[in-house]
Amino acid sequence: MEKRKVRMGIDVGGTYTKCVAMDNETHEIIGKDQVKTTHDDKAGVAAGVVQSFRNCLKNFNIDPSDVVFVAHSTTQATNAFIEGDVANVGIIGIAGGGLEGFLAKRQLRLKDIVLDEKVGRMIKVLNTFIKKKQLTDEVINQNIDELVSQGTDVIVASMAFGVDSMEEEQKIHDLASKKNIPVTMASDITKLYGLTRRTRTAAINASILPKMMATANATESSVRGAGVSVPLMIMRGDGGVMEINEMRKRPILTALSGPAASVMGSLMYLRASNAIYFEVGGTTTNIGVIKNGRPGVDYAKIGGHDTYINSLDVRILGCAGGSMVRISDKDVVDVGPRSAHIAGCEYACFTPEEEIVNPQIELVSPKKGDPADYCVIRLQNGKKICFTNTCAANVLGLVDEKYFAHGNENSARKAMQPVADKLGITVEELATKILDKDYDKVSLCIKSLAEKYELDHDAMKLVGCGGGAAALVPYCAKKMGLDYDIPENAEVISSIGVALAMVRDVVERVIPNPSQEDIKELKQEAVDSAINSGADPDSIEVHVEIDAQTGKVTAIATGSTEVKATDLLKECDENEATKLVTKDFGKDVTDIKLSIKNDKFFVFEATKKGKNSVRIVDRKGFIKVQCSNAFVTKCKIANYKEVVEQLWEEQAEFRTDSVIRPDYFICYGPRISDYSAIDLEQIYLLMDLDLGDRDKQEEIIIVASI
């Protein structure tokens, strides 16, 4: 009998570190374990990562030799910035002479990077500068020694136009490494121009390099000590994973890797390509967007500073499953941002009903400096508890028994009754007021994201994950008139996301009017980067985006750490696909029909609000494309340019001051690619890269969406 292969994912949360073991072929969960996150341990959060990992191996009889993938998310980078646990950075700037050198020297000279102005938390920055023609080993060593004598812990090498030639930065890197001084090359972090921003991004990366390297070494040696031989992977903030060796160079990429893990977990369970996802924890709710099957990604801001680091575009709200309620004599003032565990209290709905005797209201400040209007309920036995969003949702009957947030409705009612009496309202009205406060914050955030990413309300749904998902998502979805999903195992969805994550790497360049050769080179560089980060070469796919306004070309490579030999997910037949899209089309839809099908995809069309709505479903039952207004056709690759040009003209929408051109989706072989540009020639350029080497007689499906 063939031994099973196991994937393991560990997510480090604010309260718990959770490990999940999954069957590599079926994605069935084999085992789960959680430990309290070890913030105060000498080894930091790494101790909890290793502890939960070892527990999972032992408790579920997993042979270490069967583990084919192990990865973890980490809060360490984010926490280092929040807590100011950073190293002193010495920047060696390099530039040519003349006016160029004069201007570059000013751009390279950074001030201390303030992380939190209120408490004076900052990254200490020291600067030195070398003219390019004076860049000898002797001069470099003198500058390194001088910076170290001034208190530098880690070096940054940054050169004007360093993205065009890395040789000079590499020279400094090699000499600093010989002295056992951690070092970051600015051109290793990003290949975009913008000297100050590139140097600042490198300095922020360097500031956490020593601590992250120490933690990485400790975690890796512990995993090796457990008998696991596969490379340890680390979650990136943009939703991919990278080998620990890559993390040693670019630890800044791990910032926001916690929220990224939950998104990737959600994507594994989604049967839709456009959604707003919630990760509802105890203290915070992370909200982001999925469009066309990919999460929204933007440049991260760290301590209020713009960087060139790609991370998921996540909004963090201080209202979640365990948020405490703030009250006055007349009304509910607010909900959050403090949560019950900060005040050392249990949730009312998770407290045995018989304990809730003679509940009395106490107003407290959970932390020094907080307003003294957070509501705590003192019981006759002396115990203090809180009623939270989760309690309010249970009172209103919104939490199904199957969900992690399900609690005792009567316990919640008894704890909330004295406050309802004080405000002169019913317990149900109090619960509604509580959830309305959250809805106000959540709905503003959702509307902002939907507008930024041009999500169509009719094609959008909410996806809830995290232990507190059922406390907020059903209520908000109902008020917004949206469908929602809370996937199975929502409380460990982040760990699942880590276990199933793909290797991801991004290469960006500013190339005005890129040629096909330029884009081929960029694609190859992205592939090479993904291989360096641990992807199997045969599994890598590359998506290219061109921003015509800025001239920025982005190549995103994704791949798995191994090529799966089998795929045991059940095939979806036409009848099942029809049921899925009928549900997804929602209300007010007529004339649903299967317009095109092949051995890989079903394409459905329907009339909704006078427009032609389209859904493309793959043979595994995943809805890959959702368009509220689109035209669908098929043709041979030999003729695709004429069809694309015809749709470019016919589907254009003329407005007073602009022309809106269609976006395209093309189904070829087992893949779907999307293309968007303001120039038809650039559309052809991108399509040719995907279709140019294929059989000209192959039939493809083209969707033009407005």
Give the integer Cα–Cα distance in Å for 505 and 499. 18
Given 203, 237, 265, which residue is the final one in a domain? Answer: 203
Give the integer Cα–Cα distance in Å for 216 and 286. 26
Q: Are residues 494 and 530 in the same domain?
A: no
Measured between alpha carbons, how far is residue 294 from residues 264, 303, 615, 673 in Å? 9, 26, 16, 12
Among the listed residues 352, 326, 320, the one whose alpha carbon sits nearest the alpha carbon of residue 339: 320
According to the model, what pLDDT value does residue 637 have?
94
More confident position, 646 or 551: 646
The token pair that represents 241 in the structure block: 């994973």
The token pair that represents 109 in the structure block: 């000279």
CATH of the domain at 429: 3.30.420
Q: Are residues 591 and 624 in the same domain?
A: yes
According to the model, what pLDDT value does residue 534 have?
80
Tell me the range of 580-594, 598-612, 653-667 where mean pLDDT is highest.
598-612
Given 452, 467, 501, which residue is the final one in a domain? Answer: 501
Type of residue found at 652: A
User: Which residues does residue 289 pair with via DSSP β-bridges, in sequence order?
Assistant: 276
CB 544 within 8 A of CB 554: yes
According to the model, what pLDDT value does residue 570 have?
63
Cα dihedral sign for 167, 169, 172, 176? negative
The token pair that represents 438 in the structure block: 């959250």
Average pLDDT over residues 466-485: 88
According to the model, what pLDDT value does residue 567 have?
44
- Termini Cα distance of the chain: 53
Phi, psi of 191 (to 5 degrees): -105, 15
Q: Are residues 361 and 377 in the same domain?
A: yes
CB 367 within 8 A of CB 342: yes
Give the integer Cα–Cα distance in Å for 610 and 606. 10
Instruction: Tell me whether residue 65 is in a domain.
Output: no
Calculate the dihedral angle through the C-alpha atoms of 78, 79, 81, 86, rounding to the nearest 10 degrees. Answer: -120
pLDDT tens-digit series, residues 79-96? 677 667 789 999 999 988
Q: Are residues 421 and 446 in the same domain?
A: yes
According to the model, what pLDDT value does residue 533 have?
80
More confident position, 250 or 637: 637
Helix (H) or strand (E) holding 614: strand 611-618
Mean pLDDT of the chain: 86
- Please determine, for residue 459, whether its predicted confidence score (pLDDT) is greater than 60: yes
Give the integer Cα–Cα distance in Å for 300 and 308. 7
Q: What residue has token string 């070398």?
A: 130
Q: Are residues 489 and 510 in the same domain?
A: no
Instruction: Tell me whether residue 143 is in a domain.
Output: yes
Instruction: Tell me whether residue 567 is in a domain.
Output: no
Contacts of 379 (CB under 8 A, 6+ apart): 355, 356, 357, 358, 359, 360, 385
Average pLDDT over residues 575-591: 86
Among the listed residues 40, 50, 57, 43, the one whose alpha carbon sits nearest the alpha carbon of residue 72: 50
Share of the chain above pLDDT 90, in %: 35
According to the model, what pLDDT value does residue 76 have?
72
pTM over 0.85: no
According to the model, what pLDDT value does residue 568 have?
41
CB 6 within 8 A of CB 66: yes
CB 285 within 8 A of CB 316: yes
Instruction: Tell me whether residue 227 is in a domain.
Output: no
Instruction: Tell me whether residue 11 is in a domain.
Output: no
Instruction: Tell me whether residue 527 is in a domain.
Output: yes
pLDDT tens-digit series, residues 27-56? 888 999 998 888 778 777 788 888 999 999
Structure confidence at residue 538 as a pLDDT band (50, 70, 90): confident
Give the integer Cα–Cα distance in Å for 116 and 428. 41
Q: Are residues 555 and 614 in the same domain?
A: no
Q: Are residues 508 and 496 in the same domain?
A: no
Q: Are residues 182 and 314 in the same domain?
A: no
Give the integer Cα–Cα distance in Å for 525 and 507. 7
Inter-axis angle of helices 493-500 and 257-269, to 10 degrees?
80
Domain that holds residue 445: 256-501
Type of residue found at 697: Q
Q: Are residues 320 and 468 in the same domain?
A: yes
Q: Are residues 463 and 523 in the same domain?
A: no
pLDDT tens-digit series, residues 642-694? 999 999 988 888 877 778 888 899 999 888 888 886 788 888 888 988 888 88
Average pLDDT over residues 197-215: 87
- DSSP-based three-state secondary structure for 677: coil
According to the model, what pLDDT value does residue 270 have?
58
More confident position, 624 or 350: 350
pLDDT tens-digit series, residues 407-453? 999 999 999 999 999 999 999 999 999 999 999 999 999 999 988 88
According to the model, what pLDDT value does residue 176 have?
93
Q: What is the CA radius of gyration of the chain?
A: 27
According to the model, what pLDDT value does residue 407 have?
95
Type of residue found at 406: H
Instruction: Tell me whether residue 134 is in a domain.
Output: yes
Measured between alpha carbons, how far is residue 629 from residues 105, 610, 678 in Å? 52, 9, 19
Given 501, 531, 549, which residue is the final one in a domain? Answer: 501
Structure confidence at residue 149 as a pLDDT band (50, 70, 90): very high
pLDDT tens-digit series, residues 246-265? 788 888 888 777 677 777 77
According to the model, what pLDDT value does residue 311 have?
80
Residues in the chain: 706
Q: Are residues 513 and 646 in the same domain?
A: no
pLDDT tens-digit series, residues 187-199? 888 877 788 888 9
Q: Are residues 457 and 437 in the same domain?
A: yes
CATH of the domain at 91: 3.40.50
Prior bond of 259 cis (ω within 30°):
no
According to the model, what pLDDT value does residue 566 have?
39
Give the integer Cα–Cα distance in Å for 534 and 342. 39
Phi, psi of 351 (to 5 degrees): -100, 135
More confident position, 267 or 347: 347
Give Cα 455 distance to the centre of its chain.
18
Number of domains in the chain: 4
With b meaning 16 or more CB within 10 Å and e meaning fewer, what string describes 207-239? bbbbbbbebbebbbebbeeeebebbbbbbbbbb
Instruction: Tell me whether residue 607 is in a domain.
Output: yes
